[in-house]
Structure formats: structure tokens, C-alpha cells
Amino acid sequence: MLFSLPPQVLVILIFSLIFALTFHEFGHAYVAHLCGDDTAKNAGRMSLNPFVHLDLFGSLMVLAAGFGYAKPVPVSPNNYRVRNADFYVASAGPLMNLVLGVGAAFLFSFLAKNNLSTLAGVPILELLYLFIFINFNLCLFNLIPLGPLDGNSVLPHFLPVNLKLRFQHWNYRYGSQALIGLVVLSMFLPGFSAFSWIASISKSMINGLL
């Protein structure tokens, strides 16, 4: 993906990546603030300044593999004043990427219907498609219930209490290692792609919207 793109497309793709990750983390911080926890706000993370959110390795993963992450937003659950606040805060990031992707899809459809495929020589429809794809990939990847990903705080709210506790205990001990192992195998082992379903679902979502 990274090395097959024209330079001008790559530049705007990187901008799209930064935009998507920044809004993802801002969503976490803002919802935490709404739920009574200002830890992220006080740390300067309730911001649309991308430099306070981006993680180098996580950003490169998106360019190389189509999924990745930014620096986790710090939270203090003891400050929450809303029931199930951890669920709302965790869901906010993926939901933000979903909203961005759907909004861009509507813009894509509008431009396509009006035969506006390029703007000042820039292949705007191609760039919008990549922007939608990145946001849907980020949404789905972060919903995986492993390690520090958002899904780790989303899935337990749909499980029975005993299974929820067992899952949280297992994920605390082994979740990060399992996630890292799957990522490494997917990136470096030919023929193995543990996350191919992410791209497939993303494309299906795009096809359903466009």
C-alpha cells in the first residue's frame, strides 16, 4: 500500500491518517470529560492537535497494514460520574472513525454523481475512498477485544458477569501478547493474515454506502 502510491496521493493519505487518529483519540478524551473524568483534558489530550496523540509505530502500521493506533488517552475511572462510563469512553474512538467514514462516503457519492472525480488535478474520489477505508479499518481494528484496544472495554458489557470476569482476567494476563503475536505474524509471515476480515468488512461497508 505504502510504496505503490503516487507521491501526491501518499501525502494526502498521511494527512488522512493523522486526521483519523486525532479525532479517534479526541473522541475518547471528550467523552471521558462528559463522564466526569478530566485526566485526559488536564494532560492536554482533549485536543485536535495531532502531535499530542500520534504514536510513530502505530501510525506506520496503518500505512503498512491498514490498521493501527495512536497513544492511548489517560483516564481515571474513579472520577467517572456516569454508569458504564468505561463502555462509552472506549466506544467513542471507533464511533468517531465510523462517523468520519460514513460522512466521507456521502461526500464521495455527491462528488461522483456530479462527475467531480478530480479537484485541481488531485484524484479526489480516490483519496476519499482511502480516507473512508482507513477510518473503517481503524474502527474495526480497535474493536478487537485484545490487549489495550478499545474492544477490551466494549465486549465485557455484552457478557454475563462470570464470563466477563474470566475474560478480563485472561486479557489482563495474555491479551497484549496475543495481539502483538497476531500483528507480527500478519505482517511478516507470508500467507497468514489474522486481520484480513477487517479489510473485507471495510470494503463491504464502503460498497454498501457508495
Q: Does 87 map to a domain?
A: yes
Q: Does 2 map to a domain?
A: no
Q: Does 1 map to a domain?
A: no
Q: What does the radius of gyration of the chain's CA atoms come to, in whole angstroms?
A: 18
Each residue's pLDDT, cut to its tens digit, for the chain (210 residues) gives 555 666 766 777 778 888 898 999 999 999 999 999 999 999 999 999 988 988 777 767 666 665 667 888 999 999 999 999 999 999 999 999 999 999 999 999 999 998 887 776 667 888 889 899 989 988 998 999 998 889 999 999 999 999 999 999 999 999 989 988 887 887 777 677 777 888 889 999 999 998
pLDDT attached to residue 185:
81
Q: Does 159 map to a domain?
A: yes
Q: Does 105 map to a domain?
A: yes
Q: How many domains in the chain?
A: 1
Name which of 2, 15, 25 is nearest 128 in CA terms.
15
Name which of 202, 184, 200 is nearest 134 in CA terms.
202
Active-site residue, from 24, 25, 87, 100: 25
Q: Does 54 map to a domain?
A: yes
What secondary structure letter does DSSP report for 52? G
pLDDT attached to residue 18:
85
The reply to whether 25 belongs to the active site is yes
pLDDT attached to residue 87:
95
Q: Does 65 map to a domain?
A: yes
Report the residue count for the chain.
210
CA–CA gap between residue 138 and residue 125 (Å, rounded): 20
Reading the block at residue 154, the C-alpha cell is 466494549
Q: Does 163 map to a domain?
A: yes
Residue range(s) defining the domain that contains residue 144: 7-209
10-32 b/e (C-beta count within 10 Å ≥ 16 → b): bebbeebbbbbbbbbbbbbbbbb
CA–CA gap between residue 204 and residue 210 (Å, rounded): 10
Name which of 77, 87, 96, 88 is nearest 27 in CA terms.
96
Name which of 125, 165, 149, 122 is nearest 61 in CA terms.
149
